[in-house]
C-alpha cells in the first residue's frame, strides 16, 4: 500500500516560516490528489490545503489563505508556511486521495502519513 512520510516540522517564532514535505516511500505519488491536515490537542482534525494530481488546482482553508502555499512535483508535495501564528501550532498530516481533485474533507483520503509537529511560539 501507499506509504507517506512527512518532514520539515519544528519550532518557529511567530511570523516565521517553515516548509513541510510529504513523500511516498514505496510508490510514486503522482496520480493521487493530496491534502494537508492538522490537529491540535483536544481538537478535531481540520483540512488546511489540498492539491490535484496534476497540481493544476489548489484549495486553502480561510485561516491560512495568503500565508500557505501548496505545490508538488512527481513524488513530493510541499506546504510552504509563512507568517506563522501561534494558532497554527498542531501536528500536520499529509494524505493521499483516489480523487483527482479532492476536497478538504478527510473522507476523501485513503492513505495518511505519521504527522510532523509544528510549534509556533516566542
Query: What does the pLDDT profile of the chain (122 residues) look like in tens digits?
Result: 889 999 999 999 999 999 999 998 878 888 899 999 999 999 999 999 999 999 999 999 999 999 999 999 988 999 999 999 999 999 999 999 999 899 999 999 999 999 999 999 99
Position 60 scores a pLDDT of: 98
Strand order in the sheet with 68-72: 4-7, 18-24, 76-81, 68-72
Position 67 scores a pLDDT of: 98
Position 29 scores a pLDDT of: 87
Rounded distance between C-alpha atoms, residue 45 and residue 66, angstroms: 21
Rounded distance between C-alpha atoms, residue 39 and residue 83, angstroms: 19
Beta-strand pair 46-51/33-39: antiparallel
Dihedral of CA atoms 64, 30, 97, 47 in degrees, nearest 10, equals -10
Rounded distance between C-alpha atoms, residue 22 and residue 73, angstroms: 11
Quote the DSSP letter at residue 5. E
Q: How far apart are the first and last CA of the chain?
A: 40
Position 4 scores a pLDDT of: 95
Q: Cell numbers at residue 25, please?
A: 516511500
Amino acid at each position: 500500500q501507499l506509504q507517506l512520510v512527512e518532514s520539515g516540522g519544528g519550532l518557529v517564532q511567530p511570523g516565521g516560516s517553515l516548509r513541510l514535505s510529504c513523500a511516498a516511500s514505496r510508490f510514486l505519488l503522482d496520480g493521487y490528489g493530496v491534502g494537508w491536515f492538522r490537529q491540535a490537542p483536544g481538537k478535531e482534525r481540520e483540512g488546511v490545503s489540498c492539491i490535484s494530481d496534476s497540481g493544476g488546482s489548489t484549495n486553502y482553508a480561510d485561516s491560512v489563505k495568503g500565508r500557505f502555499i501548496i505545490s508538488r512535483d512527481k513524488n513530493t508535495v510541499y506546504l510552504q508556511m509563512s507568517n506563522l501564528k501561534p494558532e497554527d501550532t498542531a501536528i500536520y498530516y499529509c494524505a493521499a486521495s483516489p480523487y483527482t481533485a479532492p476536497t478538504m474533507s478527510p473522507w476523501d483520503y485513503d492513505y495518511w502519513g505519521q504527522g510532523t509537529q509544528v510549534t509556533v511560539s516566542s
